[in-house]
Amino acid sequence: MTDVKTVFGSLRNYQKGGVEVIDDDPRNYVFSNVFEVAEKSQPYERVAVGKNFDYVIEALRAEGTSPWYACAHDEFALVMDGRVEVRLMKPETPLVPSDKSGALRLTAAPSGRKMGRVVAGRGHMTLLPKGSAYQFHADQPSVVTIQTIQGDVTVERWADICQTK
């Protein structure tokens, strides 16, 4: 057997990779690289890099302090590179209708009870509980993927990020 070496990418050092399509149309496949997407995105722009029906994986570049977000369902944030602080708040009143899909960007910091904070490094996953509000902060550019349902803040940029040949 051949020895296989796993190499983890980062925002500063990644290899795009690719898909080898045999006797098919490459447009039938999706392939993107979260580090490349984050490198080319504005801070806290939530770009879809994977989709399964209504569910999406969003990649974002964490840099500085994000706006506040709220969601009517659980979301999960996975730090792929760097170190990210997640600030959590339990709003006094619901900020998102219970039937609303995806996260909403709030126009201001919510009032309510602080739930705490999580400082997550590469490979750490944080629950973003339904009904809470959350904010990210990163001193250095970092990469986060968010598992959620497609919503108002999800940016679709498939033509720019997917391999087509």
What is the pTM (predicted TM-score) of this model? 0.86
Distance, in Å, from the CA atom of 57 to the CA atom of 36, rounded to the nearest integer, reads 15
Task: Look at residue 96 and tell me whether its pLDDT is greater than 70.
Answer: yes
* Structure tokens, 95: 């900020």
Q: How many CB atoms lie within 10 A of CB 144?
A: 26
Residues 121-149: pLDDT tens digits?
Answer: 999 999 999 999 999 999 999 999 999 99
Residue 16: the pLDDT is 73
Neighbour-count burial of 51, counting CB atoms closer than 10 A to its CB (0-12 exposed, 13-18 middle, 19+ buried): middle
Note whether 70 and 97 are within 8 A (CB).
no
- Report whether CATH 2.60.120.560 matches the domain 48-153: no
Residue 28: the pLDDT is 61
Please provide the average confidence, as pLDDT, over all residues in the chain. 90
